[in-house]
């Protein structure tokens, strides 16, 4: 069990996530400290996405604690969790198919004042110049990589304090994965905390300082990314070692 | 004669459009066919009749009508639509439960009005039944005003939906409700606001119908519900422009039917057009993801 510390941004204790009768996550603990990048790795069906969905209130979750900067997130509606500063980029991007790029970004920044919103928009366009070129393009017509950039850019528009990223590399070519992970590195270096769920273990461990290994809904290993990478079982199961 | 009927039909379509955009927005945003929607016309009209008879203050009557429509819309959403939508995804009652709930709500509203004002049509408090002559044509001043008000309101609605932050939130909720939640949008508030907003439009349409035709009845919503629904399907569910165009098609079809087949076949002709549209282009005139 993890004990809370003042440096904790996100603290999760004994989290269970279930879908009707089936439980996908069986009581896990995890924490993300301010400015820290943390990975949750594991195979398909391990409960990685369910963990994020449970934290965001999108799946039925029971826990001894789910807190963000000291505030209790349990039983809080998803929209209020998002407004606290948890920027969730879901698997499959979940864009609004009929909105154009600019509209989607403005929706993300709608709670900012005019000048701040414009500044944020400039920052997102500087991070993803491709989005600036396609600002009037309808989202459903964007390529997979552009959609991923937009899903990330849309969340950044809301000035999140913690990013929750669900499989950002999924379905992208290696070149586009480079672009997305390059942007994530830039954000991490700028001090933005993130909890990254990712099947691409190589990339996840390279980006994050710490990692949790999730298997069949339970955390089986946790520690600095270097230690997790050096673990023979992790090598064998996820890194082709 | 034909031109006269076409003008009448085009002007009448303004009132239909105010109902149709409400049906299409609520269905687009929630997937709910709100069959109590057109009864807001009756709620507004009878609130005005009651308030005018009690106070003789037209402005107060309008304010009361606005408040009454908003209050009934809030009760409809919180008391019937929202609880019935909680069961979505759990059984085959996904669509049926809110549908039956809103049918019941409409009946309750009609029965309350019938209890208070009687079963028959009553004379509306304000009338605009004069005609103006223009180049040999007779144009109803009430319908002309209705069409003008409808055009202004529909343009404002289009601008609101397309250009404002609230409009983007409506479209977002209509297109992907989970994504809207993770973007920090209070989706319940957006749907409630949409129901209240569209109820206001239906209420205004009811008052315009009372002005133009002189009579209102507890059951007036039924006629407009059918026209609004047909217009929504003709235009393409979720499309505001489609709903307006669908309303115009209904108005003009009615005019042509009256001219060539007689008034008895007016409604049947509209349904034949609907049937033809469903066979030839089931998605309607416009395709829209959600609302827009």
* pLDDT recorded at residue B285: 87
Q: pLDDT digit string (tens) for B206-228?
A: 999 999 999 999 999 999 999 99
- Name, of A197-201, B95-99, B193-197, the range with top average pLDDT: B193-197
Residues of A in contact with B186 (CB under 8 A): 77, 79
How far apart are alpha carbons B263 and B268 in whole angstroms? Answer: 10
* pLDDT recorded at residue B155: 97
How far apart are alpha carbons B202 and B207 in whole angstroms? Answer: 9
Residue in chain B closest to A83 (alpha carbons) equals B184
Yes or no, beta carbons of A107 and B183 under 8 Å apart:
yes
Q: pLDDT digit string (tens) for A208-237?
A: 999 999 999 999 999 999 999 999 998 888
Q: pLDDT digit string (tens) for B130-147?
A: 999 988 899 999 999 999
* pLDDT recorded at residue B88: 63
Contact call for residues B21 and B198 (beta carbons, < 8 A)? yes
The two three-digit tokens of residue A68, written as one number? 């963000």
Closest chain B C-alpha to A41 CA, distance in angstroms = 22
Nearest to B181 among A78, A99, A108 (CB): A78
* pLDDT recorded at residue B135: 87
How far apart are alpha carbons A155 and A163 in whole angstroms? Answer: 8
Closest chain A C-alpha to B180 CA, distance in angstroms = 8
Q: Does B110 touch chain A (CB under 8 A)?
A: no
Closest CA to A20 of B88, B182, B90, B84: B90
Closest chain B C-alpha to A2 CA, distance in angstroms = 27
Total Cβ atoms within 10 A of residue B100: 14
Distances A207 to A58, A63, A167, A232, B291 between C-alpha atoms, Å: 26, 28, 13, 20, 40
* pLDDT recorded at residue A230: 93
* pLDDT recorded at residue A237: 86
pLDDT level of residue B175 (50, 70, 90 thresholds): very high
* pLDDT recorded at residue B93: 53
Domain spans of chain A, in order of start: 1-85+161-168+194-241, 89-159
* pLDDT recorded at residue A171: 87
* pLDDT recorded at residue B89: 59
**CATH top-level class for B2-280?**
mainly alpha
Q: Which CATH superfamily is domain A1-85+161-168+194-241 in?
A: P-loop containing nucleotide triphosphate hydrolases (3.40.50.300)
* pLDDT recorded at residue A6: 63
* pLDDT recorded at residue B31: 87
Yes or no, beta carbons of B175 and A79 under 8 Å apart:
no
Q: Are strands A8-19 and A65-68 parallel, antiparallel or unpaired?
A: antiparallel
Average confidence (pLDDT) over B47-63:
94
Tracing tokens 């979940």 back to the chain, one arrives at A94
Q: Is the dihedral of CA B273, B274, B278, B283 positive or negative?
A: positive
Nearest to B183 among A80, A82, A98 (CB): A82
* pLDDT recorded at residue B94: 60
- Whole-model pTM? 0.91
Tracing tokens 């064998």 back to the chain, one arrives at A236
Residues of chain A with pLDDT under 70: 1-6, 241
* pLDDT recorded at residue B286: 85
Per DSSP, the three-state class of A219 is strand
Question: Does the pLDDT at position B203 exceed 60?
Answer: yes
Yes or no, beta carbons of A94 and B182 under 8 Å apart:
yes
State the burial class of residue B156 (Cβ atoms within 10 Å of its Cβ: 0-12, 13-18, 19+): exposed
A91 CB-near residues (< 8 Å, 6+ apart) = A49, A166, A167, A170, A197
B262 CB-near residues (< 8 Å, 6+ apart) = none
Percentage of chain B exceeding pLDDT 70: 96
Contact call for residues B161 and B194 (beta carbons, < 8 A)? no
How far apart are alpha carbons A206 and A200 in whole angstroms? Answer: 10
Average confidence (pLDDT) over B257-282:
92
Q: pLDDT digit string (tens) for A23-44?
A: 999 999 999 999 999 999 999 8
B29 vs A7, which has greater pLDDT? B29
H/E element, B133: strand B131-134
Q: Is the dihedral of CA B265, B270, B274, B276 positive or negative?
A: positive
Residue A191 sits at φ, ψ, to 5 deg, of 95, 10
């Amino acid at each position: 069990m993890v004990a809370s510390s003042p440096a904790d941004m996100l603290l999760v204790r004994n989290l269970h996530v279930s879908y009707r009768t089936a439980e996908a996550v069986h009581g896990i603990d995890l924490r993300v400290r301010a400015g820290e990048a943390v990975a949750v790795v594991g195979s398909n069906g391990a409960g990685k996405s369910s963990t994020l969905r449970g934290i965001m209130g999108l799946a039925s979750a029971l826990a001894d604690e789910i807190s963000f900067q000291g505030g209790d997130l349990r039983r809080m509606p998803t929209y209020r969790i998002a407004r606290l500063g948890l920027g969730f980029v879901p698997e499959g991007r979940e864009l609004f198919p009929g909105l154009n790029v600019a509209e989607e970004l403005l929706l993300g920044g709608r709670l900012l004042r005019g000048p701040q919103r414009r500044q944020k928009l400039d920052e997102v366009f500087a991070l993803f110049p491709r989005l600036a070129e396609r600002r009037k393009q309808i989202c459903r017509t964007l390529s997979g990589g552009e959609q991923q950039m937009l899903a990330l850019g849309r969340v950044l528009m809301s000035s999140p304090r913690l990013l929750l990223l669900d499989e950002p590399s999924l379905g992208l070519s290696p070149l586009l994965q480079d672009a997305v992970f390059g942007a994530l590195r830039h954000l991490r270096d700028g001090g933005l905390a993130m909890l990254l769920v990712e099947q691409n273990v190589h990339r996840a461990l390279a980006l994050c300082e710490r990692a949790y290994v999730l298997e069949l809904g339970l955390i089986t290993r946790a520690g600095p990314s270097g230690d997790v990478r050096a673990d023979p079982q992790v090598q064998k199961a996820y890194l082709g070692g | 004669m034909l031109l006269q009927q076409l003008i009448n039909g085009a002007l009448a379509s303004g009132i239909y459009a105010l109902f149709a955009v409400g049906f299409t927005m609520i269905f687009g945003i929630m997937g709910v066919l709100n069959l109590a929607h057109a009864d807001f016309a009756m709620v507004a009209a009878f609130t005005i009749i009651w308030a005018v008879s009690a106070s003789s203050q037209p402005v107060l009557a309008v304010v009361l009508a606005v408040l009454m429509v908003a209050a009934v819309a809030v009760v409809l959403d919180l008391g019937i639509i929202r609880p019935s939508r909680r069961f979505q995804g759990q059984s085959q009652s996904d669509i049926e439960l809110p549908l039956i709930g809103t049918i019941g709500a409409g009946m309750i509203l009609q029965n309350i009005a019938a209890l208070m004002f009687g079963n028959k049509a009553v004379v509306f408090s304000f009338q605009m039944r004069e005609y103006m002559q223009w180049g040999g044509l007779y144009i109803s001043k009430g319908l002309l005003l209705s069409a003008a008000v409808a055009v202004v309101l529909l343009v404002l609605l289009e601008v609101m939906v397309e250009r404002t932050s609230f409009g983007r939130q409506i479209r977002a909720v209509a297109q992907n409700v989970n994504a809207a939640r993770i973007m920090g949008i209070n989706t319940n508030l957006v749907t409630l606001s949409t129901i209240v907003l569209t109820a206001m439009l239906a209420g205004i349409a009811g008052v315009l119908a009372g002005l133009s035709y002189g009579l209102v009845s507890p059951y007036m919503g039924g006629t407009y519900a059918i026209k609004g629904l047909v217009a929504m399907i003709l235009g393409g569910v979720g499309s505001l422009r489609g709903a307006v165009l669908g309303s115009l098609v209904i108005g003009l079809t009615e005019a042509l039917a009256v001219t060539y087949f007689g008034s008895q076949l007016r409604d049947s002709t509209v349904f034949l057009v609907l049937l033809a549209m469903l066979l030839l282009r089931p998605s309607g005139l416009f395709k829209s993801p959600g609302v827009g």
